[in-house]
Amino acid sequence: MEPNSSRYRLFSFFSLGTLISLWMLSAEQVIYVSPAGDDLNSGRLESPLRTFGKISSLIRNTILDQPGEDIVVVFRDGRYQLNEPWVLRSTDWPQGEVQVTFRAFPGESPILSGGWTVDDWKLDADGLLSASVAGYPGNLNQVRELFVNGKRATRARYPDDDFLRVEASGPDRRTGFTFYPDDITQIEDSGSAELVFFHDWSTSRVGIKEIDTANRYITVADPIGPVSPHFAIDNFEKHPRYYLEHSKSFLTQPGEWYLDTIQKEVIYMPLPGENLENIHAAMPLSSQLIRVLGTSEQPFKGLHIQGLIMEHCLWAIPANGYAGGQATYHERRYGEGGALRESMVAAVEFQYAQDCSFEGNTLRKLGGSGLLLGVMSSGNRIAFNRIHDVSGNGIMIGEDQSRHVLGKPWWQSAPEQVTKDTQVVGNVVEYCGAQYFGAVGIWIGLAQGTQIDGNTIRELPYTGISLGWMWSEVPTPAARNQIRNNHIHHVMQVLSDGGGIYTLGSQPESLIHGNLIHDVPLNLGRAESNGMFLDQGTMGFIVKENVIYNIDRSPLRFHLASTNQVERNRLFLSTDQMPPVRFNNTPEEKIHLSANEVIVQSIPKIKAP
């Protein structure tokens, strides 16, 4: 928890006993829950409840029996098991002025887990550890993660720490390619293996149909990349990167694991010091953790989630593979080459939510994205959370263009439904994109009045903050968004064509102010990466008083952008041959530059703390 949060200040002023007394003397109705509780209990401090279903029913009954009193649900220490998402609906209890708060007991760290414990390990003759997962209650074919002693284990891969490059694409540029001599030998279980393929700003993950070592040719089970022509194998680069994952043959390094879905067994190569006596492991089971669902007629109002730890959540990629487009939006293919793009599911989801908050929580060890605040939500606050070790995006605000109202895209027929007035303040977002490298720290689609302020965003394979979701200057409800005072560093560590901050589309009266951005490396893909990349259609922004340094390419880049103001920024260059602002197909006269300071100075790389 951040030291300047209100809960931290409150706890520093009062003793534990005083806080409990204050709760009991207030007008709030307090419900206590514990993993050791019982649903036949009263829900008092000395008699806590146990299950999420009982919590929901007691909240409803309390609101009906004692209208007007706020409700606090206090979670005691321990691990709360979620085999399926805890779904809260606005239709389940009356929505009025009552505020409902879920919070941790002072000084305790309750964990809501969607994971399944892997135990009963044995030592094999080859020094590997194995455990039966025959009792796993879900679909083993969807499991893509194993966490050992609290850390994400590496899905067995080849090569271990690097990547290979395509020698030449196959004729259709989608379903196969030639690899270089000696790059790949025959593997014993190629049917379970997966190709991880790098596009400039996204990745694909598809099954392998055949590895022909005699002709040095890989054939994949499904096409690589979305259907758009620019995702062809050799479009971005003639010799793009790839690696192979999930074959027992690749299990060669400590910390790697492999799941045999036929024998229903997980196999793990232990790290030094790990043994049968001290290994504790979990794999994800639940598809999400918490879903807060209102409706357009009855939004979900006044729910506040505070101080909880949430971990382990499964996201199943489509049956025909993951074709990443951008920011974890991917293509779900159907019939005769048709396709539909959709976003990755988040562990915690709010839809049609008003005046809710998510503060001081931890989201970690997740298979999809972290937190989504979606359709027709307004006046919500996301503050002082830590979001880390996430396979997809960290935080997602708003929506894309795909939803329809009255037969037209919502942003045309019902622009008043835009997600608006969201505060995203003081969060730490790090180590996202653990599986899907095109993920971003904070994604804001079509949204209005969003405040992204004072966050730390670091250690990401792609962009830090992505704002906007329209590749033209066409007006949308997106407007008055602000990105202020954020510290963004060590991003773009894997992919290219992004930056610390990335924007799209027309967003009148929007502001990018006071951000510190540094350590964006030389990209390995085709397109360069930057401190800020203001992409297609970007218009209506004031970009001022930002500091950008230790960028291996230009600190600012515009591409097919329109009118914007750039003033009083400090832009550090490593060489006087590098332009401080790069214009790609953007008329320079549309970018109004004033009083910017350009410094040519080599600055050592700063590692994230």
In sign, the C-alpha dihedral spanning 344, 523, 467, 587 is: negative
Give the amino acid at 82: L
Rounded distance, CA 539 to CA 542, Å?
A: 9
pLDDT value of position 12: 37
- Taking 50 as the pLDDT cut, the residues of the chain under it are 1-25, 605-609
pLDDT value of position 298: 95
pLDDT value of position 330: 96
C-beta separation of 495 from 324 below 8 A: no
- Which residues fall within 8 angstroms of residue 69, CB to CB, at 6 or more apart? 27, 28, 29, 62, 98
Burial of residue 435 (CB within 10 Å: 0-12, 13-18, 19+) is buried
Give the residue from 261, 221, 282 showing the smallest Cα distance to 139: 261
Which one-letter DSSP state was computed for residue 437?
T
CA distances (Å), origin 193, targets 212, 218, 259, 290: 14, 12, 11, 32
Give the amino acid at 44: R
Cα atoms found within 13 Å of the Cα of residue 349, Cβ hemisphere only: 23
pLDDT value of position 97: 81
pLDDT value of position 600: 93
pTM metric for this prediction: 0.94
Helix (H) or strand (E) holding 452: strand 451-453
CA distances (Å), origin 554, targets 361, 405, 488, 517, 593: 36, 42, 16, 12, 15
Rounded distance, CA 347 to CA 451, Å?
A: 22
Rounded distance, CA 418 to CA 520, Å?
A: 32
Helix (H) or strand (E) holding 466: strand 465-467
CA distances (Å), origin 499, targets 123, 534, 561: 46, 9, 16
pLDDT value of position 19: 44
pLDDT value of position 336: 56
Give the residue from 547, 502, 548, 552 showing the smallest Cα distance to 525: 552
What the block records as the tokens of 81 is 């098991």
pLDDT value of position 602: 62
pLDDT value of position 94: 81
Rounded distance, CA 580 to CA 568, Å?
A: 13
Rounded distance, CA 67 to CA 91, Å?
A: 16
State how far Cα 258 lies from the chain centre: 24
pLDDT value of position 332: 86
